[in-house]
A = this chain, B = another copy of it.
Amino acid sequence: MSLALKNVKIIGREGRWDVLIEDGKIMRISEEEEAEKVIDCSQKYLSPGFFNTHTHAAMSLLRGVADDRAFWDAWPEIVWPLEENLNAEDVYWGTKLACLEMIKTGTVAFNDMYFFMESAVDAVEDMGMKAVMSYGLIDQNDPDKLEEEIEATKNFVEYAEDSELVEAALGPHAPYTVSKEGLEWCADYAEKNDLLVNIHVGETEKEKKDFGESHEEGFAEYLEKVGLLNDRLIAAHGVWLEKKDMDLFAENGTTISHNPASNMKLAVGKPMDYGTMKKKGVKVTLGTDGCVSNNNLDMLEEAKIAALQQKMPGDATLLDAKECYEMTTKKGAEALRCGSGVIEEGKPADLILIDKGVKGVPTHDIISNLIYSMDSSSITDVVIDGKLVMKDRKVKGEDEIIEKATERAEDLVSGVI
């Protein structure tokens, strides 16, 4: 069905426009468009939706179970034992809850790593979102376990091939949880199948210290050695990188998914060095991380926190509002190979409509308002792959998702926390 957004202000462009959406694409932007379905946008702004480049979507079920404790304290004691009890049905409803939250906060595509990923793909398909999805491969240096994990990964990639909305990726969890052989297999398989790869690198100081004790190379050299350091790699966190790591990331076109709220809440010790990364030309995007670390998936909130976190040590000009906005839209879309993230004819229609509300008044600068003042409740409608998945803040099946996810979450933690 074709859709016309009538009389809309497009962020970054002068005037008012009609935008025709057809076959999943922005077909035409002109002064007058008609379509089967028409939305009056005279009170609204049009923006690319947001691209969340690091999530563990189904962790939404565990929101708030491990607050106010550091990663190396809370994860081994609370989070990992709870995850042991997860099943496919949990992941289906947890991912659906996460998608619902992401749609309601303006995210159109996300980059996920978790378990029972076939169920996660089903959830994403049912919600009409776009996602890059990876099975979290962890072998703990056990060759038998690696064989199982390779099998699970291959099965998942095959399963996701049928999906038009999901792009399968590989998910070697981290250099400290995956053997060298495991990382090499991932590099090779991803190369042959042109897949993106997700990994966690340099989140905590302990991780860096432990890595230094068992490896001669730095993080980036090691990733290069195992064949992973290229423009298909998205490395989450990157707080504890050295300048030489950043040089190699920049040279190889590798993306960093910066997760400021998660890093701060888990007390990783310092802000990621965005200033140096920017100078060196590292591709930096934004991610929320999972709902135990953050505890939400709200990219507008993440963008404000990112800017504030970078400025605090002393440079108020670092990571300005426009840069934050590009990071959550254009740059995120590039990293996830969505082809969208901008409003141009012929691009995929992954868009949001925004009503400025009270926090967007006055409007001296709409991008400033969006990043520094407004919250995600100002996003009224979401179009993904040309389809209207949120209309006037309503998403199909909302009540059932909340009910089922609540049941699953309560069962999961029952008797544990």
Contacts and interface: CB of A to CB of B under 8 A. Distances in A.
Interface stretch (A130-138, A261-269, A330-338): A261-269
A373 B295 contact: yes
A404 to B, nearest CB: 10
Given A100-B358, A291-B373, A362-B61, A317 B69 contact: yes
Nearest to A366: B64
Q: How many copies does the complex hold?
A: 2
A63 B362 contact: yes
A358 B307 contact: no
Interface in A287-312: 291, 294-296, 298, 301, 304-305, 307-309, 311-312
Q: Counting chain B CB atoms within 10 Å of each CB, which of A269, A307, A362, A365 scores highest? A: A362
B294 A372 contact: yes
A374 B63 CA distance: 11
B358 A267 contact: no
Contact of A364 (B68, B362, B376, B413): B413
A232 B112 CA distance: 51
Interface string A319-331: 0110000000000
Contacts of A377: 375-377
B369 A64 contact: yes
Interface string A164-202: 000000000000000000000000000000000000000
A265 B295 contact: no
A363 B406 contact: yes
A273 interface: no
A123 to B, nearest CB: 15
A359 interface: yes
Nearest to A65: B364
A312 B365 CA distance: 30
Q: Counting chain B CB atoms within 10 Å of each CB, which of A100, A298, A308 scores highest? A: A308
A333 to B, nearest CB: 23
Interface string A246-268: 00000000000000010111111
A31 interface: no
A313 B294 CA distance: 16
B320 A104 contact: no
Contacts of A304: 261, 301
A38 interface: no
A64 B365 contact: yes
A3 interface: no
A320 to B, nearest CB: 4
Q: How large is the interface on A (under 10, 10 to 19, 20 to 34, 35 or more residues)?
A: 35 or more
Interface in A394-416: 398, 402, 405-406, 409-410, 413
A365 B301 CA distance: 21
Contacts of A62: 364
A14 interface: no
A61 B363 CA distance: 9
A417 interface: yes
A2 interface: no
A76 interface: no
A267 B375 contact: no
A357 to B, nearest CB: 8
Nearest to A294: B372
A132 B126 CA distance: 51
Contacts of A318: 267
A37 B65 CA distance: 38
A-B pairs, top 8 by smallest CB distance, nearest first, are A377-B377, A362-B409, A64-B368, A264-B308, A267-B316, A68-B320, A70-B316, A295-B372
Given A68-B320, A71-B316, A301-B375, 20 more contacts: A62-B364, A63-B368, A64-B364, A64-B368, A67-B365, A68-B307, A68-B321, A69-B317, A70-B317, A101-B359, A266-B316, A267-B311, A271-B312, A295-B368, A301-B304, A305-B305, A361-B405, A361-B406, A361-B409, A375-B375
